Amino acid sequence: MYPEAQKPALAIFDLDGTLTWRDTLVPFLAAYLRAHPRRLARLWRLPRSLLAYAGGGGDRGVLKARLITMALGADARAHIDAWAQAFVAAMPARGFFRPAALAALEDHRRAGDRLVLLSASPDLYVPHIGQLLGFAQTICTELRWRGDRLDGTLSSANRLGEEKRRVLESLRALHPGQRLVAYGNSASDLIHLRQADQGLLVNASGKARAQARRLGLATSDWR
């Protein structure tokens, strides 16, 4: 048993821009389309969806679902899963992950902390990333299926902003007495970072850094 002061923490990592250098969803979809070029014809609806979102009348979760449906909708679960596993297995060699982020992850692992991956990206591939990096738990945006075929609409909330805060509070309730350490990279992550016992904003824009300072949150750069 750990003394109370030394009890392992919950270390909660965001994915895109925190553990990785960049977004993962667009490269995933782009690679799938390159491997399945006939699906490119479905993208005729993309400009309208982007315009609706850019004009302020769109929802980020809805846009995400539409992009996924255009690229992968109605494809078989086994086929998508096998393709996603191969994509994720190639991510280290393709330089997706920040070395400093992986070092922080290993520090928490050596300390005996429970590692949680919390991402707004979809469950098509994020659980495979969680498995690759040795996370104990992966929480991400979930998609709906119609039997064995991908529907593409969201079956969970988009794990972003306030939803990440709700997830963090659920984790606190499930692990009473454990310290919550959270990492994120965007202004929307400040909502849950400020609720953690220790929150760190990494790799963020100047504007997000300024917001973090006003909230009393530390910032850093992971390279």
**Tell me, what amino acid is at 192?**
H
The 10s digit of each residue's pLDDT in 28-56 is 999 999 999 998 888 877 767 666 666 66
Residue 2: the pLDDT is: 35
What percentage of residues in the chain have a pLDDT greater than 70?
Answer: 92
Confidence of residue 27 (pLDDT cuts 50, 70, 90): very high
The pLDDT of residue 60: 83
pLDDT digits 0-9 by tens, 61-78: 989 999 999 999 999 999
Comparing 54-58, 86-90, 136-140, 169-173, the range with the smallest average pLDDT is 54-58
For residue 82, the enclosing domain spans 4-220
Residue 53 vs residue 143, higher pLDDT: 143
Q: 122 phi and psi, to 5 degrees?
A: -85, 165
Confidence class of residue 81 from pLDDT cuts 50, 70 and 90? Answer: very high
Q: Model-level pTM greater than 0.95?
A: no
| Residues contacting 177, CB < 8 A, separation 6+ | 4, 7
Number of domains in the chain: 1
For 207-217, what is each residue's pLDDT tens digit? 999 999 999 99
Average confidence score pLDDT of the chain:
93
Q: 60 and 159 in contact (C-beta within 8 Å)?
A: no
Residue 165: CATH number of its domain: 3.40.50.1000
58 pLDDT more than 70:
no
CA separation for the pair 40, 18 (Å, rounded):
30
Q: What pLDDT is recorded for position 1?
A: 31
**CB atoms closer than 10 angstroms to residue 189:** 29
pLDDT at residue 141 greater than cutoff 90: yes
Reply yes or no on whether the pLDDT at 17 is more than 70. Answer: yes
Torsion of the alpha carbons at 143, 144, 148 and 149, rounded to the nearest 10 = -90
